């Protein structure tokens, strides 16, 4: 992989590159392509399995419980995103999506096409029992697909750094708490496809600019043991927030965040990401997602997303991690077992 990608990058990243030269590559040992067992977070009565699907998609399983975070496999090219109609690609979805028939919930942090466009096909054809959780804008954008009865708007249940939100039981052994988050600008202070819908669309979105983000959410996800105790607590985001957005509230249950799933893309467009969030969450393990170039077809050897200097983000991550906290950079198909 080539990491000196300065042309067109964010100003802060360009400044760093100009002072250090071409940034060193991320250590190959950080890439995970297969299965990794992690022993840092051992309260669960059976292993909790997190499988990365690429972009911001994950399958999270514990025993008979399974949930999904909104994946993207269609990956329209940058040319198509800018100039042509786009839609889900069933052939690509079928080629890359594992069995998700047992999934009870699909979590969607915001409504951009790279998070929501593949969800209708998956919900109607592969995860036919799943309830979709997200913001009102996403619900209005999915209305033409006939999924209104399977969407739950959870924005009003969301917590913040100061206010505890509401736990939502999404299956027998999984509960989630939405958190008010934010979406960093894509480049030079500009956030593309930003907006809030107030009514249901009457036709399916046909272009990238019709998939508006709405109010961005992050999530706390608790996997519960048979006795009701928390076996593993996961923090999940699908977009970079500007602090204090996206932060978790102070919970009085004595359970901290075990695994934090963080996004590097567009990190240089806000201040103190990931530093502020790591200080808030104090996780025991960090996984990165939405780091690869999603304008290219899904790949087991992806390049980083344009305009993001991944080695700089990784350097900042490593400087800010709580002592003893591990981290990994997964490739689609990587599986993590937390015992």
Give buried/exposed letters for 170-199 (b at 16+ CB in 10 A, else e): bbebbbbbbbbbbbbbbbeeebebeeebee
Helix axes 11-20, 310-320, angle to 10 degrees: 90
- Residue 287: partners with Cβ closer than 8 Å, 6 or more residues away: 50, 52, 259, 260, 261, 262, 327, 328, 330, 336
Residues of the chain falling short of pLDDT 50: 1-23, 28-29
Domains in the chain, CATH or no CATH each: 11-338 (3.60.15.10)
pLDDT at 25: 58
pLDDT in tens, 23-39: 455 654 468 999 999 98
Per the CB < 8 A criterion, the answer to whether 147 and 124 are in contact is yes
Nearest to 254 by CA among 275, 225, 223, 229: 229
pLDDT at 246: 98
Q: Is the pTM here over 0.75, yes or no?
A: yes
Burial of 260: CB neighbours in 10 Å, binned 0-12, 13-18, 19+: buried
Per the CB < 8 A criterion, the answer to whether 338 and 48 are in contact is yes
pLDDT in tens, 252-307: 999 999 999 999 999 999 999 999 999 999 999 999 999 999 999 999 999 999 88
Q: Residue 119 is inside which H or E element, if any?
A: helix 119-125
Place of tokens 């890439």: 31
Per the CB < 8 A criterion, the answer to whether 130 and 59 are in contact is no
| Gap between the Cα atoms of 43 and 145, Å rounded | 40
- Sequence-separated contacts (24+) of 165-169 with Cβ below 8 Å: 165/249, 167/222, 168/133
Per the CB < 8 A criterion, the answer to whether 135 and 111 are in contact is yes
pLDDT at 17: 38
pLDDT at 74: 98
């Amino acid at each position: 992989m080539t990491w000196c990608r300065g042309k067109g990058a964010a100003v802060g990243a360009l400044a760093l590159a100009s002072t250090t030269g071409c940034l060193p590559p991320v250590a190959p040992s950080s890439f995970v392509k297969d299965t990794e067992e992690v022993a840092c977070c051992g309260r669960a009565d059976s292993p909790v399995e997190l499988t990365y699907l690429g972009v911001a998609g994950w399958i999270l399983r514990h025993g008979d419980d399974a949930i999904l975070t909104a994946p993207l496999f269609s990956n329209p090219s940058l040319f198509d995103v800018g100039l042509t109609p786009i839609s889900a690609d069933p052939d690509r979805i079928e080629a890359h999506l594992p069995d998700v028939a047992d999934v009870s919930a699909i979590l969607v942090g915001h409504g951009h096409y790279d998070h929501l466009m593949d969800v209708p096909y998956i919900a109607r054809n592969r995860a036919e029992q799943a309830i979709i959780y997200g913001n009102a804008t996403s619900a209005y954008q999915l209305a033409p697909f006939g999924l209104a009865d399977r969407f739950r708007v959870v924005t009003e249940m969301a917590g913040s750094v100061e206010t505890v939100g509401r736990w939502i039981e999404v299956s027998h052994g999984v509960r989630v708490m939405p958190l008010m988050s934010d979406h960093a600008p894509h480049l030079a202070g500009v956030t593309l496809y930003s907006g809030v819908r107030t009514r249901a669309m009457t036709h399916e979105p046909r272009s990238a600019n019709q998939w508006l983000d709405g109010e961005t959410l992050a999530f706390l996800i608790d996997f519960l043991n048979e006795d009701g105790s928390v076996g593993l607590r996961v923090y999940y985001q699908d977009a970079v927030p500007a602090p204090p957005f996206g932060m978790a509230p102070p919970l009085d249950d004595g359970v901290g965040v075990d695994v934090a799933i963080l996004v590097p893309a567009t990190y240089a467009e806000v201040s103190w990401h990931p530093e502020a969030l790591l200080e808030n969450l104090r996780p025991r393990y960090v996984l990165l997602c939405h780091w690869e170039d999603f304008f290219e077809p899904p790949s087991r050897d992806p390049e980083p997303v344009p305009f993001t200097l991944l080695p700089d983000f990784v350097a900042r991550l490593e400087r800010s991690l709580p002592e003893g906290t591990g981290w990994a950079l997964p490739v689609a198909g990587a599986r993590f077992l937390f015992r």
